[in-house]
Structure 1
Amino acid sequence: MQKWIKEVGRGKRGAKDLSYEEALEAAKCMTSGEATEAQMAAFLMAERIKTESPDELLAFIHEFRRNTQRLERPRAEGGILDCGGPYNGRNSFAATIPVNILLSQQGLPVFLHASESLPPKNGTSLKTILQKLSVPIAQTKGEVQAALKAVNIGFAWTDKLCPPLADLRKIREEMGVRTIMNTVEKLLDMSGANSIILGVFHRTAVNKIVPSLQQLNYERAYIVQGVEGSEDLPVHRSSFIYNIGKESSESIIIDPSDYGLRHEKELNKEVLNADEQAGLMTQLLAGEQSDVLLPYRNQVVLNAGLRFYLMGHTPTIGEGTQLADRLLTEKKGEEQLTLWRGVLQGSIDS
């Protein structure tokens, strides 16, 4: 590991990008246990200062995928949508949870994943929010698989399915900064998905991720400039979504005003705890409506509408938002959440 640290740790001007093969060897040192904690921390910090290249990112994704348990369920007709959000948690409303409950209710397989929250934000993790929603957390890939098969929605506690990633947790907590692993963990592809929607915070991050994403095994890949770097579009402003093809990519501007969903409240500035997150989601899925709930409802409707469209379930985003609005009003989300809880509890009990 020392030779790779020397290459990437020569300072901003002298540091050298590793080739794909060299980066793969460095990653193997980490997954095999050959590298010490000090060496792994040094390498991750040097990469942060240098900034990782697309080849380095791709090599780390491949190696950590190789050490990740993957679901055995074959791809469903139309495929699975993998939602890659930030592992450092959320402060603002995590719309992706109710959004994906609505998608699954319509028979569209969706896959969420996270672990306990990490620096630098240390927000509320999706895992914690789901626990507050009384959704049992699957401990094995079999339990995740059972839910995905039965009700078209799965959540994986990533540390359970990728031990080398879990082994890095203490180091990353002590470092307290973002590293290459913040991107790698979102792209482990535990579900064998053929589609992914990936959140980024800054548009500048797109250029770094696109070359790697184009070499992965997705038929459809989208990058969203979402709230807190998530896959959730805001409703107080327009946002970009990038459609990533194998040879090129195109950007689309999504304006909530086009669908009558813009709201002046800047949800990205809120800090919600897990109880508040779960409370809002419970009310929305139960079909409740009020002035207080309106911005959150609009965000769920916009993002569900977009994903319905991207997955080919509706011919337009507008028709997708109309469908999402109707599903909330008819309490279909509440019914689906109840089914998800029951399937997981039954799988865990057995």
Structure 2
Amino acid sequence: MAQASQEFGDWPLKRLMTEVVGSGPKSADDMDREQAREAFQRILAGEPDQTTLGAFWLANRWKRNNPEELAAYTDVMREESVVTAEPEADPVDCGANYDGKDTSAILGVGAGVVAAAAGTPVVVHSGDRVPSQKATPYKHVLEELGVRTELEPGESADMVDETGFGFYYQPAFNPVIDDLFDRRDEMGVRTFVNTIETVANPANADVHLGSFYHLAFARKMIDLIRESERLDYSRAIFFQGMEGYDDIRPGYTKVAEWSSGEDLEDYEIETAEYGMDMEREDLAVDDIAVDSATITAEVLSGDREDHFADAIALNGAFRMYARQDVESLDAGLERAREVIDDGSAEAVLEDLQAF
């Protein structure tokens, strides 16, 4: 076990628990940036006792991390774990919650392929049944479609440049975070690691597309990006995704949009305004991986014209809009339907399967 006096500063996790973060949800104090950095450096080095680590994670959950703490954790992750591989293209970075979905179809593969066919490169990244939910992520939908997922970062970058769509696999590009899997699993609840892994940005993209449950959390994530010294996003859009994922909800969806040098703007998307009369239950499936893959293939081939086809087209349009490749969602939606109708989207999927 590492010795604090030799490798770290003066703030082992036990002292942080006793003097700063561990007194309870109402009375705990926030850490300063250096304290938070040291805490996560110790965690990534495997230094804390397992009981202390669990207590620290739970205390952070109770008191709720502020943007400065989250930015410090993110910077340490980027410095000590993330292996970046930057494609020549400048993709939209889609960082959905890594612990997946367990009710509704995953639309982001189809949406990303549609966007790629329209000229908007897209990167997605995930792990494999990540705690606490350990549900279906991007990886398993891609595998069901016959797309390789266990790629080294350089291969992922090549996939982006060759097809317009790329998948980065957490154990390959974020290995020290992946090493925390068992400890996270024993917690039984999400920790701040679930938050920061979504902005790992393995492709060094300029634009991030993420999701949130409440607008206040979107503001916190944008403040994290602003305060981070290792993230270079110039633009970020967060929205209330289905099951916390990066799929726009049927009906009403709240959106938070930010560009460097500007204030955050929030607004709503109503799917009915785009001629889409659907409810959340219309996008439910039984087997998330298998059914999502089947739906994706059928939509991209033009063989399916239903709520799922509408949802994939709208989410593809939103990726184009995020990168500012179209002026509006209406324009993006028109472009999405064009690339499905003319076979371009299906061709991207075929390229991915052949990669």
TM-score relative to the length of structure 2? 0.89
- Partner of residue 238 from structure 1, selected from 245, 252, 268: 252
| Counterparts in 2 of 1:33 and 1:146: CA distance versus 1, 3 Å | same
CA displacement, residues 70-95 of structure 1 (integer Å, 9 cap, x when unaligned): 4343653xx32100101111121111
- Tell me what 2:322 maps to: 310
- Partner of residue 162 from structure 1, selected from 174, 178, 190: 174
- Tell me what 1:130 maps to: 142
- Partner of residue 95 from structure 1, selected from 107, 120, 129: 107
| Counterparts in 2 of 1:142 and 1:310: CA distance versus 1, 3 Å | closer
After superposition, where does 1:177-216 map in structure 2 within 5 Å? 177-215=189-227, 216=231
Between the aligned partners of 1:218 and 1:201, the Cα distance in structure 2 is 21
Between the aligned partners of 1:289 and 1:13, the Cα distance in structure 2 is 52
- Tell me what 2:132 maps to: 120
Between the aligned partners of 2:268 and 2:26, the Cα distance in structure 1 is 36
- Tell me what 2:235 maps to: 220
Between the aligned partners of 1:325 and 1:334, the Cα distance in structure 2 is 12
Asked if 1:31 corresponds to 2:31, the answer is no
- Tell me what 2:94 maps to: 83
- Partner of residue 40 from structure 1, selected from 53, 58, 62: 53
Aligned length: 337
TM-score relative to the length of structure 1? 0.90
**What secondary structure sits across from 1:87 in the alignment?**
coil
- Tell me what 2:31 maps to: 18
**Offset of 1:22 from its aligned partner?**
0.6
Aligned identity (percent) is 26
The one-letter code matched in structure 2 to 1:117 is R
**Offset of 1:271 from its aligned partner?**
4.7
- Tell me what 2:62 maps to: 49
| Counterparts in 2 of 1:333 and 1:321: CA distance versus 1, 3 Å | same
Between the aligned partners of 1:265 and 1:51, the Cα distance in structure 2 is 29
| Counterparts in 2 of 1:280 and 1:268: CA distance versus 1, 3 Å | closer
- Tell me what 1:319 maps to: 331
**What secondary structure sits across from 2:167 in the alignment?**
strand
Between the aligned partners of 2:252 and 2:274, the Cα distance in structure 1 is 12
Q: Would the aligned equivalents of 1:224 and 1:230 in 2 still touch at CA under 8 Å?
A: no
Between the aligned partners of 2:24 and 2:274, the Cα distance in structure 1 is 49
- Tell me what 1:347 maps to: none
Q: Would the aligned equivalents of 1:67 and 1:163 in 2 still touch at CA under 8 Å?
A: no
Q: Which stretch shows the higher mean deviation, 188-197 or 305-314? A: 305-314
* Aligned Cα root-mean-square deviation (Å): 1.8
- Tell me what 2:3 maps to: none
Asked if 1:67 corresponds to 2:64, the answer is no
Q: Would the aligned equivalents of 2:114 and 2:313 in 1 still touch at CA under 8 Å?
A: no
User: Structure 2 unaligned runs (5+)?
Assistant: 1-11
Q: Which stretch shows the higher mean deviation, 11-20 or 52-61? A: 11-20
CA displacement, residues 215-256 of structure 1 (integer Å, 9 cap, x when unaligned): 342111111111111121122x12111112445201121111
Between the aligned partners of 2:285 and 2:162, the Cα distance in structure 1 is 35
**Offset of 1:170 from its aligned partner?**
0.5
Q: Would the aligned equivalents of 1:70 and 1:191 in 2 still touch at CA under 8 Å?
A: no
Between the aligned partners of 1:268 and 1:42, the Cα distance in structure 2 is 38
| Counterparts in 2 of 1:35 and 1:277: CA distance versus 1, 3 Å | same
Q: Would the aligned equivalents of 1:227 and 1:268 in 2 still touch at CA under 8 Å?
A: no
Between the aligned partners of 1:225 and 1:81, the Cα distance in structure 2 is 18
| Counterparts in 2 of 1:251 and 1:271: CA distance versus 1, 3 Å | farther
The one-letter code matched in structure 2 to 1:66 is E
- Tell me what 2:22 maps to: 9
Q: Would the aligned equivalents of 1:195 and 1:220 in 2 still touch at CA under 8 Å?
A: yes
**What secondary structure sits across from 1:189 in the alignment?**
coil
